[in-house]
Amino acid sequence: MDISSFSDELLAGQRLMIGFDGTRLDQDLRFMIDNLKIGGIVLFSRNLVDPAQIRQLTQDIQAYAEKCSLPPLIVSIDQEGGVVARLKPPFTQFPGNPHMKNASDAVGFAETTATELAGIGVNMDLAPVMDVAFEKNQSVMADRAFGHDPERVSHLGKIVIEALQQRNIMAVAKHFPGIGRTELDSHMDLPDLDIDPDLLMKTDIVPFQTAISGDVAGIMLSHIMYPKLDNKWPASLSGAIAKDLLRNRLGYQGVVMTDDLDMGAIDKHFGFETAVDQILAADIDIVMICHRSPKMETAHERILSDIKRSHENRQRTIRSVLRIMHLKERYL
């Protein structure tokens, strides 16, 4: 992919995945596409009315991006089935990962979901959950995970990944390096998981290694502290976890993204500009901001300033944008 013609503003914007208000292409969404040059959007229930409306919305968004001479947008959604499913009837309702009995259930979920997402112009499912919900604690992921056995999670998760991607829907494995042992919800505050790295590698990380072997399009980082891996930053801001562990040790060369930076784990403990700076330093590709706020403009400005600060920083963003554009070329 030749991105030599990309302006610095476009390079910065491609690293943003944003949420928005409303159910149509309005003036504010046009601003974010044209001025911030965003690389992707994430849809929530507040954006969705019915299949025809969603299809029109995504078509209008892509048409406007093309009119602005921008690359097509990644259009993502959380459609895990069960308790996390943004699409309501008439879309197919699945009971969720804990209720999958076998490979046939996993294939059925992924094939149907991929067909329905493609039909409304969504090209990325922020799924599957690859966390292992261990039995010894009240896991925050108990009602979202495939189960408590790393091998079962690996097996069913890989089936979902491959079935989605065979039907041209990008899959995202989450939440690296695993949040199944936590009881505190990172939407509310910052969990601390003081686990031995060797145990983590033998258990929690196993499904993510399987996802990598399945060529998963994206991996989402958790908003969790792992003090034996990094005693200063949560995974979503950590170079030790995103760069040293995920990229260098595990060899993952795909797109890495944060979870929503509006969540309490980040919002209550870290300054937003500091968080963005850490994301850039950690070789994390996509900054996700799910609620409309001035943070989006701030993030774009911060990435742009980083690009202009040095040749090395610019090359770092170019590497991230190349990974993002590789996905867009392959799937869009």
The stretches of the chain forming alpha helices (DSSP H) are: 8-13, 27-34, 51-67, 103-119, 150-166, 197-202, 206-213, 239, 264-267, 272-281, 295-309, 311-331
Yes or no: say if 157 and 89 are a contact pair by the CB < 8 Å rule: no
DSSP letters, 139-163, are -TTTTTSS-S-HHHHHHHHHHHHHH
DSSP letters, 204-248, are TTHHHHHHHHTT-SEEEEPS-B-TTT-SSS-GGG-HIIIIIIIII
Active site residues: 187, 259
* Residue 286 to residue 169: CA distance in whole angstroms: 18
* Residue 235 to residue 246: CA distance in whole angstroms: 10
Is residue 136 packed enough to be buried (19+ CB in 10 Å), middle (13-18) or exposed (0-12)?
exposed
For residue 239 the two structure tokens come to 């170079």
* Residue 258 to residue 215: CA distance in whole angstroms: 19
Taking Cα atoms as reference points, which of 167, 135, 166 lies closest to residue 150?
A: 135
* Residue 186 to residue 320: CA distance in whole angstroms: 26
Q: How many CB atoms lie within 10 A of CB 8?
A: 15
